[in-house]
Amino acid sequence: MNEGRAYTNNSDVYVDITPAAGVTDIVSIRYKLNGLPPTTIAYTTSFTINVGNTDGAKVITLELIDGVGHVSPVYSATVTLDKVAPTGSITINGGAAYTASLQVTLGFTLRAGVDDVELIQLSNDNVTWSAEETYNASMSYTLPAGDGSKSVYVRLIDRAGNVGSAQDSITGGQEPVDIQTYENGDTVTVSDNSGKLVRTGFTFDGWNTKADGSGINYVLNNKFKYNKISLENNVLRKIYDTRLFLLRE
Ligand SMILES: [Ca+2]
């Protein structure tokens, strides 16, 4: 039944009959679904039973009957109907906004109660999908080459073949590096976006000392005095370390 698989998402369950060697006189099949009154059909080696739309175990018992009314032993098989697609989410590098490396870690979080994901497929464009592979909560992944916003889409496939999906994006590129060193009181000139950090839907507008844009803004060629005490650290370095844009939609 169900080609030997224990789970299905199809209400029409396939039943295949293989008589013992030499048995040629079967004329009918009598089957029951979950103990309900029996249905009798003409003998065939393959047929479907509609098990309805309610998820759960479906126990099918059947007997084979020959031309003179001899009835075989009862044969039984169980298949579990599951029509609920898994739901969950994906993160790239734990949800980081930016990456300077194409080598990232994907993390998957399944919604509470979802425990039947067996396989995944991945895509960078939601069109072309990788081959199915075994689900793990975390895996390494190589983003497509080039700077820019990268998306990873995932199909979460459960044991019955239901498919759920999730997606996350991350911005690729290199943080710019200012190779100069500064002493207290030196004038620092803010550099351009030489690392080509980009984010889809946004235009580069400058730098900010905080990830949420609530810090100090700096744009290209802004000048400021480097002050080790008030800024705690080399400001440029701090700006660059935050790997930020000041973004304007
Ligand atoms: Ca399921």
What is the reported pLDDT for 18? 92
In the chain, CATH 2.60.40.10 sits at 2-81, 88-172
Give residue 74 CA to ligand 1 midpoint distance, Å.
30
Which residue, among 107, 89, 202, has the nearest Cα to 156 in the 3D structure? 89
Q: Which residues contact 7 (CB under 8 A, 6 or more apart)?
A: 79, 80, 81, 82, 116, 158, 159, 160, 161
Give residue 86 CA to ligand 1 midpoint distance, Å.
5
Q: Does domain 88-172 have CATH number 3.40.309.10?
A: no
Distance CA 31, CA 145 (A): 58
CB 86 within 8 A of CB 165: no
From the number of C-beta atoms within 10 Å of its C-beta (0-12, 13-18, 19+), residue 107 rates as middle
The alpha carbon torsion through 62, 66, 70, 76 (nearest 10 deg) reads: -10
Distance CA 60, CA 58 (A): 6
Give residue 166 CA to ligand 1 midpoint distance, Å.
16
Hey, what CATH class is 2-81 in?
Answer: mainly beta
Give residue 81 CA to ligand 1 midpoint distance, Å.
9
Give residue 115 CA to ligand 1 midpoint distance, Å.
8
Give residue 179 CA to ligand 1 midpoint distance, Å.
54
Q: What tens-digit pLDDT sequence spans the chain (249 residues)?
A: 888 899 999 999 999 999 999 999 999 999 999 999 999 999 999 999 999 999 999 999 999 999 999 999 999 999 999 999 999 999 999 988 778 788 999 999 999 999 999 999 999 999 999 999 999 999 999 998 877 788 999 999 999 999 999 999 887 765 555 656 666 677 777 766 666 665 555 566 677 666 556 677 777 777 776 655 444 344 443 343 333 444 443
| Alpha-helical regions (H) of 22-171 | none
